[in-house]
Amino acid sequence: MTLLIQKEIFSEDMTQFYVAETAEAIESIHRLGFIHRDIKPDNLLLDAKGHIKLSDFGLCTGLKKAHRTEFYRDIQSMRPQDFTAIPADSKRRAETWKKNRRALAYSTVGTPDYIAPEVFKQYGYNNKADWWSLGVIMYEMLIGYPPFCAENPQETFRKVMNYRETLVFPPEIPISNVAKDLILKFCTDADRRLGSLDDIRNHPFFLGVDWDHIRDRPAAYQPRVKSIDDTSNFDDFPDVDLKLPSPAKDTEVQVHDWLFINYTYKRFDGLTAKPKLKMSAPLASSSN
């Protein structure tokens, strides 16, 4: 979301609007039996009227499938440093994140900042992983950077896995208790996490929200769109060379399988086998 990069921090009213609309979008995916698995600001788009559109379903998968985590093993295999290494001052953290954030937005390299801790583990996860991601986004909207941001993905992974110690609110940035409570109900263990849109709607942070007509109300921000092909609201994407660590050697072989994660193939011989052609007798030539 370019708007978040530009404004750095949203008001609580603005955050309420975007979190509510994003929650509606996520719930619609869950009702269809899918998990998005990649909820992050870059995948939250604004339409011409300023309302949320959820995008990028490349990692979306069905709830009944076994969810493999090979994609994240390179992060786990590396030895992280102390997760307190990033500057503690919120201003310095915001500056560090702002510098890295724009570079990551221009790159195909992902970041574990918005990934729920259970996704990194080997025993699977469910659609509640998407609600964790929404909580991280809400924190970033109100604070200016995600709660687990660090100098590299390995440090971020370490922070996510130790979220009970690393998820803190800087005292110098004002935030209401109800906003804190909602974030903490999103970013907690899966069995204690908010798990449905009804639970989210009933939270005090959304007091006064008309959920039935939320897309009919004026948006928190109205983009200026001059024409149907106006691209002035989009960033330019220059080539950015991110100096990120390479995967460990013992995971290099697994990289080749990433393209096929959650894909299956089954050959149906009865449908694909070509029938043998019957040889027909040559036509007898007719004599006059």
Each residue's pLDDT tens digit, 56-103: 777 777 644 444 445 455 555 544 444 444 445 565 666 665 655 555
Per-residue pLDDT, 170: 92
Beta pairing class for 44-46 and 34-35? unpaired
Q: How many CB atoms lie within 10 A of CB 19?
A: 27
Q: Are strands 61-62 and 52-54 parallel, antiparallel or unpaired?
A: unpaired
pLDDT at res. 189: 95
Kindly tell me if the per-residue pLDDT of 199 is higher than 50.
Answer: yes
Mean pLDDT of the 207-230 span: 87
The predicted structure's pLDDT at residue 123: 73
Give the CATH architecture of domain 2-57+66-221.
Orthogonal Bundle (1.10)
Confidence band, pLDDT 50/70/90 cuts, at residue 3: confident
Q: What is the pLDDT of residue 260?
A: 55
Read off the pLDDT band of 134 (50, 70, 90): very high
Interatomic CA distance for residues 2 and 46, integer angstroms: 10
Cα atoms in the Cβ-side hemisphere of radius 13 Å centred on 87? 10
Mean pLDDT is highest, among 70-79, 142-151, 178-187, 213-222, for 178-187
Whole-angstrom distance, CA of residue 87 vs CA of residue 214 = 39
When mean pLDDT is compared over 4-13, 17-26, 96-105, the highest value belongs to: 17-26
Greater confidence (24 vs 149) lies with: 24
- At 147 the pLDDT is 94
Query: Quick one: average pLDDT of 197-224?
Result: 92
Q: What is the pLDDT of residue 240?
A: 56
Question: Quick one: pLDDT at residue 57?
Answer: 76
How much is the average pLDDT of 43-53? 90
Measured at the CA of 117, the angle between CA 111 and CA 120, to 5 degrees, comes to: 75
| Active centre residues (catalytic) | 38
> What confidence category does residue 177 fall into, taking pLDDT thresholds of 50, 70 and 90?
very high
Q: What is the pLDDT of residue 205?
A: 98
Residue 282 reports pLDDT greater than 90:
no
Q: What percent of the chain has pLDDT over 90?
A: 40
Rounded Cα distance between 111 and 128, Å, is 19
Mean pLDDT, all residues of the chain: 76
What pLDDT, on the 0 to 100 scale, is given for residue 108?
40
